[in-house]
Amino acid sequence: MRAFDYIRAGDTAQAVREGAGQETRFIAGGTNLLDLMKLEVMAPERIVDITRLDLGGIEETQDGGLRIGALVTNSDLAADARVRRGWPVLSRALLAGASGQLRNKATTGGNLLQRTRCYYFYDRGEPCNKREPGSGCAAMGGTNRILAILGTSEHCIATHPSDMAVAMRALGARVEVEGQDGTREIALDAFYRLPADTPHIETVLAPGELITAVILPAPAGGRQIYRKVRDRSSYAFALVSVAAVVEVENGRIAKAQLAFGGLGPMPWRDAKVEKALVGEAPSPALFDRAADILLAEARGHGGNDFKIPLTRRTLAAVLSQATEAAA
């Protein structure tokens, strides 16, 4: 870990000002940043501690949604009675992630900004375009069982590791950020960037911009399911996960909001899939068609080819569960 200057921010304005400096990172939970700094995969020269800022708390918004402070921990968010009642898919996703200890530390803002779990990203002995732009991608032709099948480029096949963000994407969350030019809101749909030829740039955040909150729209209703498929029953990253908010009315799917983890460089959502489902009567054939659309562009890299059928089967099971009881 490289030596750094430690700055404890007293207010958001100071944090944003300090955060705009060269080679500077915000730290809150620190569960991913320090993990990477210890390996010098990330090596900031300055650390701005934002844990003392007034960014905690979960408030109800005027339209019946929730404004979740960036520093709200994953534990508190998962256990919040309003979230459990109105946005259960979010509780479920949070509880499926990491461990009790990590959820007590990890924050809402930080969770969105987790870096990939790609083996080669974590290994300074190996080329990685995300860690060191232009050095190459060792995951291609390497061990890529856990890596992405959608949205990849020849430069990067990393996945986004978050569970929480998958549920938030299914729920249509927005991210509130504060920068030197003021505050703005970004739909989670527009928050992440595909790797293309700049895999080291993962979001649309400008340098120094600080996530201050995540805003959930009013409860989506319907059946809410988060299903995570992984290599052991707990404390493991998703191979594939599906967040689903599905409503059936009069035997037809009235609403389908679906997002996927483990498939792409960002929590994955595909409007075409949802469009194909809405208005239709649930059936295995329909679910299969949805999977066809979702996976039309999917590409395996050898070790992760299995994710294609696994996604198809998991999606079908989730849709079947979401539609059968309510039908």
Partner 1 sequence: MQLQLDVNGERHALDLDPRTSLLDALRDHLGLTGSKKGCDHGQCGACTVIVEGRRINSCLTLACMHEGDEITTVEGLGAPDDLSPLQRAFVEHDGYQCGYCTPGQICSATAMLGEIEKGWPSNVTEDLEAQVEASIEEISERMSGNLCRCSCYPGIVDAIRQVAKEEAGA
Partner 2 sequence: MSLETTRQLKHDTPDHDRRLDGMAQGVLGTDMDRPEGPLKVSGRATYAAESRPEGMAHGYLVRAATIGRITGSNAEAIRAMPGVLHVLEDERMIRNAAQGMAGQSPVQKQGQSWYVGQPVACVVAETFEQARHAAQAMMVTIEPDGTHVFDAEAEGAEIDTPEKKQVSQGDLDSAMAQAAFSIDHDYHTPSMSSAAMEPHASIAQWDDEGRVTLRGSYQLLRFNKNELADVLGVAPDKVRILSPYVGGGFGSKLGLAPEAVAAALAAQALGRPVRVVLHRRQVFETVTRRSETKQRIRLACDADGKLTGIGHENLVSQLPGEVFSEPVAQGTHFQYAAPNRVVGHNIARIRRSAAGSVRAPGEAVGVTAFEIAVDELAKSAGIDPLEFRLRNVPDKHPENGKPFSSSTMEATLREGARRFGWQHSQPRQRREGEWWIGTGMAGAVRVNMMIEAHARVVLTGTGARVECDMTDIGTGSYAILTQVAAEMLGFAPAQVETVLGDTDLPPASGSGGSFGAASTSTAVYLACMELRERLAAKIGVKETELTLKDGVATHENRQTPLAEVLGDEEWRALGHLKPGRAGREVRQATWGAIFAEVAVSDVTGETRVRRMDGTFAAGRILNLKTARSQCHGGMIWGIGLALTEALEHDPRDGHMVNRDLAEYHLPVNLDVPQLGVHFIEERDDWANPLQAKGIGELSICGAGAAVVNAIENACGVRVRRLPATLDQVMEGLIAQG
Residues that bind partner 1 (CB under 8 A): 1, 3-6, 8, 27, 29-31, 34-35, 38, 47, 49, 51, 75, 78-79, 81, 84-85, 88, 91-92, 95-96, 98-102, 104-105, 233-235
Partner touching 79 among partner 1, partner 2, none, CB below 5 to 8 Å by kind: partner 1
Closer CB to partner 2, residue 220 or residue 244? 244
Question: Do residues 114 and 124 make contact, with C-beta atoms less than 8 angstroms apart?
Answer: no
Q: Which residues contact 26 (CB under 8 A, 6 or more apart)?
A: 15, 19, 47, 48, 50, 210
| Distance of alpha carbon 75 from alpha carbon 316, whole angstroms | 30
Partner touching 30 among partner 1, partner 2, none, CB below 5 to 8 Å by kind: partner 1
One residue of 142, 179, 217, 300 binding partner 2 per CB under 8 A: 142
Least separation, in Å, of the C-beta of 106 and partner 2?
A: 14
Partner touching 143 among partner 2, partner 1, none, CB below 5 to 8 Å by kind: partner 2
301's tokens: 């890299």
Partner touching 27 among partner 2, partner 1, none, CB below 5 to 8 Å by kind: partner 1
| Distance of alpha carbon 319 from alpha carbon 98, whole angstroms | 25
Rule CB under 8 A: say whether 143 interacts with partner 2. Answer: yes
304's tokens: 């992760």
Say which residue the tokens 């404004």 belong to: 67
Residue 315 burial class via C-beta count within 10 angstroms: exposed 0-12, middle 13-18, buried 19 and up: buried
Closer CB to partner 1, residue 82 or residue 275? 82
Using CB under 8 A, count the residues that bind partner 2.
36
| Distance of alpha carbon 172 from alpha carbon 118, whole angstroms | 27
Closer CB to partner 1, residue 57 or residue 302? 57
Say which residue the tokens 């960014």 belong to: 55
Least separation, in Å, of the C-beta of 2 and partner 1?
A: 8
Partner touching 153 among partner 2, partner 1, none, CB below 5 to 8 Å by kind: none
| Distance of alpha carbon 45 from alpha carbon 1, whole angstroms | 10
CA-only gyration radius of the chain, Å: 19
Residues numbered 112-131 forming contacts with partner 2, rule: CB under 8 A: 117, 119-120, 122-126
Three-class SS state of 314: helix
Rule CB under 8 A: say whether 82 interacts with partner 2. Answer: no
Three-class SS state of 261: strand
Rule CB under 8 A: say whether 3 interacts with partner 2. Answer: yes
Expressed in percent and rounded to 5, the helix, strand and coil fractions of the chain are: 30, 25, 50
Partner touching 133 among partner 2, partner 1, none, CB below 5 to 8 Å by kind: none
Closer CB to partner 2, residue 72 or residue 318? 318
For residue 237, CA distances in Å to 57, 100, 117, 233 come to 27, 14, 8, 10
Among the listed ranges 15-23, 37-45, 66-74, 283-291, the one in contact with partner 2 (CB under 8 A) is 37-45
Closer CB to partner 2, residue 67 or residue 130? 130
Closer CB to partner 2, residue 152 or residue 241? 241
